[in-house]
Structure 1
């Protein structure tokens, strides 16, 4: 059991040669691209109003090892990029590896948050809504071949990350 908790407490980080160019891309470009991807991925949930708790709220997703900051809000039923001038109501921070573990379902959100691999800041209530939403998602069928790519990236970073 001690070995498992040690693995959970230390996240591999993205190799620097891969992370460096990502940090050069402006945050607004990361945010816009992620909003488009998530609008498509979460289309059924958006249509059902399952993300309405984000209406007018600013969520910051900070990918620490890749130096990426993604700022999103919900407006008129769609996720949209938000400028840096608006303060965030919620922040979620972690390494690429941990976000990939979450997205590929190799690890459940409770474990990642409990072990402080993913860290929440700001509104506890909003953070709980986001965590519960992520926990309820069944995306495997929607991700198709992207799931295989994400699993490969997770294995790569787990093997070669620092």
Structure 2
């Protein structure tokens, strides 16, 4: 994908053309607080998602420049599940919520950190999720059989 995205404390998300870095393809506005994290959907080239420090998650259409959905649940980091993009991992405080991208239902609430989560990262299969805070690193199994358990 020849696109790059940036989030900002000015409450915007920008999508850039990699071949022409001085040209912003889109500027998305609508967040009421600083945008802390964003991610492209792994197989829907039109979809990008962002979260702000007030816990608002916004889904944006790159092609038409509009916000397609708003929900709550992420304040620091969020990442789409690789390959399928069925789930969105969103960290807020010391909890990671696993949200169903289509319905916005919270599938799992992963608890175990005592400090604020700084980062989340999926393994390439999309079955394991690592969450990192000042006090610990936790690896969660979201595959079949042991859904939502800390490994």
Q: TM-score, normalization: structure 1?
A: 0.27
Using CA pairs under 8 Å that are at least 6 residues apart, name the structure with larger relative contact order, 1 or 2: 1
Which structure dedicates a bigger proportion of its chain to strand? 2
Which structure dedicates a bigger proportion of its chain to helix? 1
Q: TM-score, normalization: structure 2?
A: 0.28
